[in-house]
Amino acid sequence: MPNLSEILDKIKDILSSEIGEKKVFDKDVATALNINQITLATMKSRNKIPYKEILEFCAKKRISINWLLYNQFVESLESETEKFARICYFKDIYASAGGGALNYDETDEKIMIDEEILAHLGGEKKAKDIQALNVIGDSMEPTLNDGDIVFVDRSSTNPHRTGVYIVSTPYGLFIKRLQLQANGTVALVSDNPNYSDEIVSVSDVEVLGKVVGSLTNNI
């Protein structure tokens, strides 16, 4: 697992070079990552990686996520380009694990994932169908947590009982298990027992894809 303290030191070096080699502190990194300073300190003490914020930082600065997390240099990555795939990350779209998330901004950024991660998501043939977005809410705990980044296979829209899916409804985007009912409705099922099933008409549900992986972003 990557070490957050080492990652923060690299970010400090990047920020320092931008402001004239001045001293950079954790509070400056927190600002750059758009994370509360106390929250970042807690994450640092627990070595909990804020993947979402780091992905956004790397995309903004045009920095290799592999270099920042795993110390893989750009030159070595370029020589093994075939081992990496570019997928769309919709950093401003949230699929709700609680109430509906009314966020449909289609602006995406490209992130690089290596062949080992890609294999877990379905393999090279699936790369063009994989997209990443964010989870908000706690109704899918412990399977998925608030703040997680999920990888979604947009080609898999035929729901099965054991799968977790992204669905579009008049109330927003949901991330749930689905159960078809005999009366023409669909039950949006939560893994957290504290939440009741949401019942929606079949005609009001569009299955956008199946969740095939995730990055946890919790403290």
Per-residue pLDDT of the chain (219 residues; tens, 9 = 90+): 678 998 888 888 888 877 766 788 899 999 999 999 999 999 999 999 888 888 888 877 777 777 777 766 555 444 444 556 677 777 777 777 655 444 445 566 777 676 667 777 776 667 788 888 888 889 999 999 888 888 999 888 888 767 899 998 888 888 999 988 888 899 999 999 999 998 999 888 889 999 988 877 554
Do residues 133 and 186 touch, judged by C-beta distance below 8 A? Answer: no
Do residues 179 and 189 touch, judged by C-beta distance below 8 A? Answer: yes
pTM over 0.75: no
Question: How long a stretch of residues is the chain?
Answer: 219
Per-residue pLDDT at 102: 43
Query: CA angle at residue 141 from 40 to 147, to 5 degrees?
Result: 35
Q: Which two tokens stand for residue 189?
A: 């099922």
Q: Which two tokens stand for residue 65?
A: 């996520």
**List of domains in the chain:** 1-79 (1.10.260.40), 82-219 (2.10.109.10)
Q: What is the rounded CA–CA span in Å between residue 79 and residue 57?
A: 24
